[in-house]
């Protein structure tokens, strides 16, 4: 590869052995210049977030999180963002990339238009704390309100609570939620006043409402049969589009709505 | 930048108390049912007024007077008026709730909305049931031609 000397000396943030017939020789991962516009906010100084531009050399196998790491570790150590597992499971690094809510650790640079600056901001609708970090408390508050735990009646069985494969399948989709808040913070109704329970809380209610082992469905339907509950959904599908786990969020909300209607009539 | 269009809230929200009311459930259901009924009512209305017979050319003061002489069309138009007004009012109510950030703005806009809807509904209902094309004792010069014809 005839890359510039800087690119060949720098260690790629992630290395994947690409077979010769796919991407050239070993270690010869295509590199390119990327411009990042990252929303910076220091609560002690700024009244509003502002954008700062960073130019970095990235590799074809890198993700947005690798670029954030590179900026933090090599250019500006004051850049703050959350990440934990960095592999799309913990749900810490949901950010707004080019106006769409994504997990930084699951968004590959090769899938973005690297000719234009890549805009990274904190997710919207939650109180901003610093740079890309928001206060998740309002999000978890509505999550707690829908009682995301098994509620049973009657004596405890002496063995495990068995469930048929069909009964398990009924709520399989909504078990995938990692509580990253990408859906709730993409919802325009949530942006207005933050009173709406939000898609994530309803998805997690769905997970228990349709669980055959759970007896607390009525309690949860009561909580969500509220002016800030399922009736506030405008089916804009922003949540379904934003979900990094591919959960059919809007469908789950509609199913909870149907359950409330069936109970009422 | 999109940062300015969706400002970040500076404080955590205090969740409003649960209302424990079924109103939103019925409002949601009403929107679906009235929507379906309105499709039938409005297309029926358009078909009869614009297509049947002489079509659009037949519409005049006399045509409306003739329609409202029949209880069938009185009820048809009454349903259309009430359903359309309530459907539209509820739609605007949700839009106000979704887009206003201050409580005061929301209440003020809703007062204007409900007043306007109430006036149109009351006035429309009154016209449908009290429509009198040829009021007795009126100046003949002001009456429609068919009032004096017979």
ipTM (interface predicted TM): 0.78
Pairing of strands A128-130, A133-134: antiparallel
Cβ(A202)–Cβ(A258) under 8 Å? no
Q: With an 8 Å Cβ cutoff, are B8 and A138 in contact?
A: no
Quote the pLDDT of residue B12. 61
Interatomic CA distance for residues B80 and B67, integer angstroms: 14
**Number of domains composing chain A:** 2
Q: Is residue B18 part of a domain?
A: no
Quote the pLDDT of residue A254. 96
Quote the pLDDT of residue A7. 45
Nearest to A192 among B11, B23, B101 (CB): B101
Stretch A48-75: mean pLDDT: 94
Residue A4 in this model has a pLDDT that exceeds 70: no
Quote the pLDDT of residue A2. 47
- Residue A160, Cβ density class (10 Å: 0-12 exposed, 13-18 middle, ≥19 buried): exposed
Quote the pLDDT of residue A233. 94
Interatomic CA distance for residues A196 and A85, integer angstroms: 29
Quote the pLDDT of residue A1. 44
Domain that holds residue B27: 23-133
Share of chain A above pLDDT 70, in %: 89
Q: How far is A19 from chain B (nearest CA, A)?
A: 41
DSSP class of residue B51 equals T
Residue in the structure block whose two tokens are 């003949």: B140
Same-domain pairing of A96 and A120: yes
Q: What stretch of H or E contains B111?
A: helix B103-130
Q: Band the pLDDT of A51: cuts 50, 70, 90.
A: very high
Residue A23 in this model has a pLDDT that exceeds 70: no
β partners of residue A119: A37
Q: With an 8 Å Cβ cutoff, are A231 and B27 in contact?
A: yes
Quote the pLDDT of residue B1. 45
β partners of residue A34: A56
Q: Is residue B142 part of a domain?
A: no
Nearest to A194 among B4, B13, B29 (CB): B13
Q: With an 8 Å Cβ cutoff, are B9 and A188 in contact?
A: no
Give the mean pLDDT of chain B: 86
- Which residues from A are below 8 Å from B8, CB to CB? 49, 122, 124-128, 134
Same-domain pairing of A111 and A219: no
In three-state secondary structure terms, B106 is: helix
Q: Is residue B3 part of a domain?
A: no
Nearest to B6 among A124, A145, A261 (CB): A124
Q: Count CB pairs under 8 A between chains A and B.
A: 80
Same-domain pairing of A191 and A240: yes
Residue A208 CB partners (closer than 8 Å, separation 6+): A147, A148, A149, A150, A151, A171, A214, A216, A217, A220
| Cβ atoms < 10 Å from Cβ of A148 | 17
Interatomic CA distance for residues B54 and B33, integer angstroms: 33
Stretch B26-31: mean pLDDT: 95
Same-domain pairing of A68 and A18: yes
In three-state secondary structure terms, B25 is: helix
Q: Which two tokens stand for residue B73?
A: 């069309």
pLDDT in tens, B103-135: 899 999 999 999 999 999 999 999 999 888 777
Q: Is residue B52 part of a domain?
A: yes
In three-state secondary structure terms, B103 is: helix
**Number of domains composing chain B:** 1
Quote the pLDDT of residue B11. 61
Same-domain pairing of A52 and A78: yes
Residue B148 in this model has a pLDDT that exceeds 50: yes
Interatomic CA distance for residues A196 and A231, integer angstroms: 9
Residue A240 in this model has a pLDDT that exceeds 50: yes
Domain that holds residue A96: 5-134
Q: With an 8 Å Cβ cutoff, are A231 and B98 in contact?
A: no
pLDDT in tens, A120-140: 999 999 999 999 999 999 999
Q: Indicate which CATH number applies to the domain containing B51.
A: 1.20.1300.10
pLDDT in tens, A198-227: 999 999 999 999 999 999 999 999 999 988
Q: How far is A234 from chain B (nearest CA, A)?
A: 9
Give the mean pLDDT of chain A: 90
Q: How far is B126 from chain A (nearest CA, A)?
A: 34
Q: Band the pLDDT of A179: cuts 50, 70, 90.
A: very high
Residue A3 in this model has a pLDDT that exceeds 50: no
Q: How far is B46 from chain A (nearest CA, A)?
A: 30
CB half-sphere exposure, B118, CA atoms < 13 A: 6
- Which residues from B are below 8 Å from A232, CB to CB? 24
Interatomic CA distance for residues A240 and B93, integer angstroms: 26
Model's pTM, two decimal places? Answer: 0.83
Q: Indicate which CATH number applies to the domain containing A65.
A: 3.10.20.30
Q: Band the pLDDT of A29: cuts 50, 70, 90.
A: confident
Residue A236 in this model has a pLDDT that exceeds 50: yes
Residue in the structure block whose two tokens are 């068995």: A162
Stretch A55-61: mean pLDDT: 92
Q: Band the pLDDT of B66: cuts 50, 70, 90.
A: confident
């Amino acid at each position: 590869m005839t890359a510039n000397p800087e690119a060949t000396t720098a260690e790629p943030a992630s290395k994947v052995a690409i077979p010769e017939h796919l991407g050239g020789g070993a270690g010869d991962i295509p590199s390119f210049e990327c411009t990042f516009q990252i929303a910076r906010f220091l609560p002690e100084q700024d009244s509003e977030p502002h954008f700062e531009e960073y130019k970095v050399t990235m590799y074809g196998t890198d993700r947005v999180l690798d670029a954030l790491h590179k900026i933090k570790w090599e250019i500006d150590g004051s850049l703050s963002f959350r990440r934990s597992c960095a592999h799309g499971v913990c749900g810490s690094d949901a950010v707004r990339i080019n106006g769409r809510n994504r997990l930084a650790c699951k968004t590959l640079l090769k899938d973005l238009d690297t000719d234009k600056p890549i805009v990274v901001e904190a997710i919207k609708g939650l109180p901003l704390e610093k740079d890309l970090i928001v206060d998740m408390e309002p999000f978890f508050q509505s999550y707690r309100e829908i009682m995301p735990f098994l509620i049973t009646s009657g004596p405890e069985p002496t063995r495990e609570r068995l469930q048929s494969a069909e009964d398990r399948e009924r709520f399989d989709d909504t078990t995938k939620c990692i509580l990253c808040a990408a859906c709730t913070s993409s919802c325009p109704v949530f942006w207005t006043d933050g009173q709406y329970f939000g898609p994530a809380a309803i998805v997690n209610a769905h997970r228990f409402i349709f669980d055959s082992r759970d007896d607390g469905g009525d309690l949860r339907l009561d909580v969500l049969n509220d002016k800030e509950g399922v009736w506030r959904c405008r089916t804009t599908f922003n949540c379904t589009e934003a979900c990094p786990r591919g959960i059919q969020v809007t469908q789950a909300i509609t199913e909870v709505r149907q359950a409330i209607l069936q109970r009422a009539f | 930048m999109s940062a300015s269009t969706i400002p970040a809230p500076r404080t955590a929200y205090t969740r409003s108390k649960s209302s424990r009311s079924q109103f939103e459930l019925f409002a949601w259901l009403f929107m679906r049912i009235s929507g379906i009924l309105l499709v039938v009512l409005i297309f029926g209305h358009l078909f009869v007024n614009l297509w049947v017979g002489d079509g659009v050319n037949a519409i005049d003061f006399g045509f409306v007077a003739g329609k409202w002489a029949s209880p069938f069309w009185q009820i048809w138009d009454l349903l259309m008026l009430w359903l359309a007004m309530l459907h539209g009012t509820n739609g605007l109510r949700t839009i106000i709730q979704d887009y206003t950030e201050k409580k005061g703005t929301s209440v003020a806009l809703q007062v204007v909305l409900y007043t306007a809807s109430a006036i149109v509904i009351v006035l429309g209902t009154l016209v449908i049931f009290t429509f009198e094309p040829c009021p007795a004792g009126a100046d003949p010069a002001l009456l429609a031609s068919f009032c004096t014809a017979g």
